[in-house]
Amino acid sequence: MPASAPLVTDPFARFQEWMTEAWRHEPEDANAMTLATATPDGTPAARIVLLKGADARGFVFYTNTESRKGGELAANASAALLFHWKPQGRQIRIEGRVEPVTDTEADAYYASRPRISRLGAWASDQSRALPERAELERRLAGFEAKYPGEDIPRPPHWSGFRVIPERFEFWQNMPYRLHDRTVYTRAADGGWTIGKLYP
């Protein structure tokens, strides 16, 4: 966005504008985001996950809650997200606290997934050591036999998290590395203060 364009005062609205534009250029991956978590002592970890919900409440992704990221979020309920859309020369950084989604939300999203993905949520001990690939395939086959139809309950260890933003940064590539950086920080009254950063 050119520096002279009108400033959007609601960061969620600005996010939706940029995401809509990103889908036009990256139909396969526009909702891919880096999720960074940390242990209580500050050891960081980052990985790519998919954004599955975004509104004024926050940004939602789903996972095995017993995975590494699930354990880190249980111990340190803060996270950072990063979206990078190279065709548009844009990044969005989001930082905030994290809370679990409701069971109703998790059930609804789980039910929308392909059958094999739902079975995979049962078969995979995500982030734990796997002796050989064949073991995962055996486990998947076992759950296919256990749940032969479409009625596959959501595993108790599979759910979602919502990142509730305290800070957004919208980064727009500009010539000569004189990039435009706009920061939204949540104020005490729940509104947003807006500022710029040097590139």
Query: 2: pLDDT confidence band, cut at 50, 70 and 90?
Result: very low
Please give the average per-residue pLDDT across 167-178, as a whole number: 97
The answer on pLDDT for 3 being more than 80 is no
CB pairs under 8 A, 24+ apart, for 144-153? 144/119, 147/119, 147/122, 150/115, 152/115, 152/118, 152/119, 152/122
Question: Span 94-99, mean pLDDT?
Answer: 98
Q: Closest Cα partner for 113 from 154, 149, 76, 174?
A: 154
pLDDT over threshold 80, residue 25: yes
Decide if pLDDT at 166 tops 60. Answer: yes
In the chain, the domains with their CATH numbers are 11-114+155-197 (2.30.110.10)
pLDDT of residue 8: 87
Residue among 97, 133, 154, 177 flagged as catalytic:
177
pLDDT digits (tens, 9 = 90+) for 55-72: 999 999 999 999 999 999
Residue 174 in this model has a pLDDT that exceeds 60: yes
Where are the extended beta strands (E) located within 27-145? Answer: 32-38, 44-50, 53-55, 58-64, 78-85, 90-100
Say yes or no to pLDDT of 23 above 50.
yes
Please state the pTM of the whole predicted model: 0.93
What pLDDT sits at residue 1? 43
Condensed to tens digits (0 to 9), the pLDDT of residues 109-147 reads: 999 999 999 999 999 999 999 999 999 999 999 999 999
Per cent of the chain over pLDDT 90 is 94
Instruction: Kindly tell me if the per-residue pLDDT of 21 is higher than 70.
Output: yes
Mean pLDDT of the chain: 95
User: Given this model, what pLDDT does residue 20 score?
Assistant: 97
Please list the residues that pair with 186 across neighbouring strands: 192
Residue 4: what pLDDT? Answer: 52
Catalytic: 177? yes
